[in-house]
Amino acid sequence: MFGYRVPAPDEAMLISGGRRGLGGAPFRVVTGHGKFVLPVVRKVRFLTLSMCESEVTETCVTRQGISLHVRAVIAFKVGNDHESIINAGQRFLSDQEQMSVLTGRIFAGHLRAIIGSMTVEEIVTERQKLAAEVLDTSKTEMAKIGLIVDSLQIQSIDDGDTGYIDAMSAPHKAAIQRQAQIAQAQATQASVEAEQAAARKQAEYARQTAIVKAEYSAEVDRAQAQAGQAGPLAQAHAQQEVLAAQTELAQRQAKLRQEQLVAEVVRPAEAEAERVRILAAAEAQRMKIQAEAAASYDRVALDRMLIDQLPQIVKEAAGGLAGANVNVLNGADGLGEIAAGLVSQGLTILDSVRQNLGGQDSDGQRPDGQRPEGRRSGEGEGNGSSLLQLPTGKGRKSDDGPVDVD
């Protein structure tokens, strides 16, 4: 539309003519929107609000009297508020390039003043402090002309041919060189150690490889030897098994033969021996029974013979008294006692013969090999008794032989 003007985003539109601006300014400030401007009556100019740069190269003297060549860069712009735009418009609207020149001169003066109050060591080591102090001292002046500084960078500090900075940095350079040499030596040592470690690892690897190869070779040799011995070993094992089987078979045959011998020889011999023993025992028992029967018969016959001979024995004993001088003190009683004594002697002789026969063997002999002898009678009992000598007589023969009675 004719007469309608719009400023760029980084510009401020200044409209002069007609009404005055704020605070009695000779123009009105329009930013961020358009404005209808009557032609011929109103006049429109534009002031940049973009970032500007100014470079400062200045020779400054420090507190120590040493000259330093300082190079700095200032980044600035016109403030966004109406007051800053009005101040900058009144000063730089017709020649906006003068903002960089004036800003550089302002900062050069403040830079000389600040560096003059510092030492070289402080300037070199505390550049940020230097920049901050320059900004603080120049802020008021820059605000009066409507400018604000975004940053100040000290790009270089040079002492020319004096060599002060180099001398100051010499210890640091020496320390740095020393550290560099130490680092280099350490790096060299580490490199040598690494090489040695690598050599040791290679040697260890070679040794392990040789060991493994030797083990593999030994294992292969053992396998080949075992394979070569497998046939003979298998044959030997087979022969050993055959011998074991033959030995077991021989043992079984021997055991079977032993059992056969036991069944064929020992058992029949034992049976025959048992049969003979039983027959002998039976024969002995039979003979014993026969002997006992014969002995019993002989004793009965002897008893009968003795009984038959007892009157004769008593008679003979009484006959022995015929010529004896016997005094009978008690008359008939004394005679009775004499007769009773004769009978008692006869019974005693009979018992003695029986006992002797009981101690003889089956052939009529006594155990000591002597034939039995008759007992002599003792003296008679009573006051009129006397020793009687029995006559010798022959006994009755038995089946085992004659028995003599004295």
pLDDT in tens, 88-103: 888 888 888 888 899 9
Read off the pLDDT band of 87 (50, 70, 90): confident
List the strands of the sheet with 27-30, edge to edge.
27-30, 11-16, 43-48
**Which residue is it, tokens 């008294």?**
321
pLDDT at position 203 is: 92
Residue pointed to by tokens 């500090």:
157
Q: Which residues contact 330 (CB under 8 A, 6 or more apart)?
A: 337, 383, 384
Q: What is the CB-side half-sphere exposure of residue 372 using CA atoms within 13 A?
A: 27
CA distance 352 to 369: 18
Q: Taking all residues of the chain, what is their mean pLDDT, rounded to a whole number?
A: 76
- Cα–Cα dist 350/344, whole Å: 10
The angle, 0 to 180 degrees and rounded to 10, between the axes of the packed helices 332-358 and 267-319 is 160
Range 387-406 average pLDDT: 39
Q: Are 353 and 403 in contact (CB under 8 A)?
A: yes
pLDDT of residue 73: 92
pLDDT band at 11 (very low <50, low <70, confident <90, very high): confident
Checking phi first, is residue 221 left (phi over 0); if not, alpha (psi -120 to 50) or beta? alpha
Query: Is 12 strand, coil or helix?
Result: strand
Q: Residue 150: what residue type? A: D
SS3 46: strand
Tens-place pLDDT, residues 333-364: 555 666 666 667 666 766 766 666 555 544 44
pTM, full prediction: 0.40
Side-chain-side CA neighbours of 352 within 13 Å: the count stands at: 15
Which residues, including other chains, have CB under 8 Å from residue 120's CB and lie 6 or more apart? Answer: 62, 64, 66, 68, 159, 164, 165, 168
What average pLDDT does the segment 285-290 reach?
84
Lowest-pLDDT choice from 40-49, 198-207, 244-253, 393-402: 393-402
- Under DSSP, the state recorded for 393 is E
Q: Is the pLDDT of residue 374 over 50?
A: no
Average the pLDDT over 51-71 and give the result.
89
Contacts of 235 (CB under 8 A, 6+ apart): none
Q: Does position 228 have pLDDT exceeding 60, yes or no?
A: yes
Q: What confidence score (pLDDT) does residue 23 get?
A: 59
Angle at 86 between CA 85 and CA 88, to 5 degrees: 65
pLDDT of 303: 66
**In whole angstroms, what is the distance from residue 243 CA to residue 236 CA?**
10
Q: What is the DSSP string of 52-89?
A: EEEEEEEEEE-TTS-EEEEEEEEEEEE-SSHHHHHHHH
Q: Taking every pair of C-alpha atoms in the chain, what is the biggest distance, in angstroms?
A: 235
Residues 6+ apart with CB under 8 A from 130: 114, 115, 118, 122, 123, 154
If you compute the radius of gyration of the chain from its CA atoms, what whole number of angstroms results? Answer: 87
Q: How confident is the model at residue 208 (pLDDT cuts 50, 70, 90)?
A: very high
DSSP state of 266: I
Query: For the residues 395-403, what does the mean pLDDT come to?
Result: 40
